[in-house]
Amino acid sequence: MSYLALTDDELACLLSDDVQCGDLTTETSGIGQRAARLEFRARQDMLVCAIEEAARLFALCGAKADLHAHSGQQAGKDELLLEARGSARELHRAWKTAQVLVEWASGISTSTAAIVKAATPVAVACTRKNVPGTKALSVKAVRAGGATMHRLGLSESLLLFAEHRLYLDETPADTVARFKRAEPEKKLVVEVASMEEALLWARAGTEVLQLEKFTPEEVADCRNALGSAGLRVVLAAAGGVHADNASAYVCAGADLLVTSAPYSAPPRDVQVIFHAD
C-alpha cells in the first residue's frame, strides 16, 4: 500500500492552506536557513497509513525524506516511521500538515484492521460515509487496514433503499427483473429493515440483502428463516458494526460486514522530534 492517494497538486493545496502567506514565526525568528532534521515516531501501536504522502509533502517543500515504514505496516510504540532533512524553513512548513495526515489516516486504518481481525474469515467493507473531500485517502486507509469498499459512490453499484422504493409502482419481482435486464453485470443489493422485508425481497430474486441495524440475534433469525424457505441470499450486516460486535455478526451467519465506524476513529498519535544538524 505504498502508492500516493493524493496528487502533488492536492498536497500543495494542503500546504497552501496551512502556510498561506509564509511561516511568520520561523521567518521572524531568523532560523529559516539553519540545517535541520526531524523524525516521525509512533507514540502508540498503529497500522500506519499516509506516510508516503507525508514524505512527499516534505519533498514539495524542498526537503529530503526517508521512509522507515509504509502504509499497511504495523508499527509499535517509539518505532521510527520517517526521517526528513532540510532547512528549518522547509521542515517547519511541512511538519504539521504531514503529521496530521499520518495521524488521521492511521486512525482509520488501525480501526479498520481491528474490525477485520474480529470478523475473520468474513470480509469487511467500509461505506462511502467518509468526511467529504477525503475519499481518496480514506479509501487508501480502509484498504491498508485489510477491508474493501462497499461503495465508492453512486455510479458503480446498485443499492436499493426504502427511499428509492417509495416511488416504485411495481412488485418486488418486477423491480428485480427490471434491474437485472438493465444492468446484467451487476448484483442488486436491497437494504431491508425487517424480517418481513428480507423474505419479500429474497423471494423476489434479490442476490444481496443489506440488513440495516439488525442485531446479531436478528441476523441469525433471518438466516434461519431464509434457509427454511430454501432461499440462499448473501446477507450483509450494516449499521452499528464495530470491532466489539463483529464476531457476533459472523457467528450469526452474516456473509459480509458493512461499517462506517473507522471514519470516526480517533487519530493515532505520532511524535515529531526535531534535531539541530
Residue ranges per domain, the chain? 8-108+266-276, 116-264
Domain 116-264 classified CATH 3.30.420.40? no
Across the chain, what does the average pLDDT equal?
96
Q: Is the pLDDT of residue 164 over 80?
A: yes
Collect all residues with Cβ–Cβ distance below 8 Å to 81 and sequence separation of at least 6: 40, 41, 42, 48, 51, 67, 68, 69, 75, 102, 270
**What integer is the mean pLDDT of 142-170?**
96
Q: Where do runs of H (alpha helix) occur along 70-212?
A: 88-119, 135-144, 162-165, 172-182, 195-203
Collect all residues with Cβ–Cβ distance below 8 Å to 220 and sequence separation of at least 6: 251, 252, 253
Residue 1: predicted pLDDT: 72
Instruction: Confirm whether 8-108+266-276 and 116-264 share one CATH topology.
Output: no
Residue 277: predicted pLDDT: 75
- The percent of residues in the chain predicted with pLDDT above 90, rounded, is 96
Confidence of residue 261 (pLDDT cuts 50, 70, 90): very high
Q: Is the pLDDT of residue 3 over 90?
A: no
Residue 21: predicted pLDDT: 86
Residue 115: predicted pLDDT: 98
**What integer is the mean pLDDT of 211-223?**
97
pLDDT tens track for 9-23: 999 999 999 998 889
Residue 20: predicted pLDDT: 86
- Residue 90 CA to residue 37 CA, distance in Å, equals 10
- The percent of residues in the chain predicted with pLDDT above 70, rounded, is 100
- Name which residue leads in pLDDT, 276 or 270: 270
Residue 33: predicted pLDDT: 94
Residue 2: predicted pLDDT: 75
> Quick one: fold of 8-108+266-276?
Aldehyde Oxidoreductase; domain 3 (3.90.1170)
- Helix (H, G, I), strand (E, B), or coil: what is residue 2? coil
- Helix (H, G, I), strand (E, B), or coil: what is residue 205? coil
Which pTM was predicted? 0.94
Residue 198: predicted pLDDT: 98
Residue 11: predicted pLDDT: 97
- Residue 187 CA to residue 170 CA, distance in Å, equals 20
DSSP 10-33: HHHHHHHHH-BTB-HHHHHHT-TT
Residue 123: predicted pLDDT: 98
Half-sphere exposure of 160 (CA within 13 A, CB side): 23
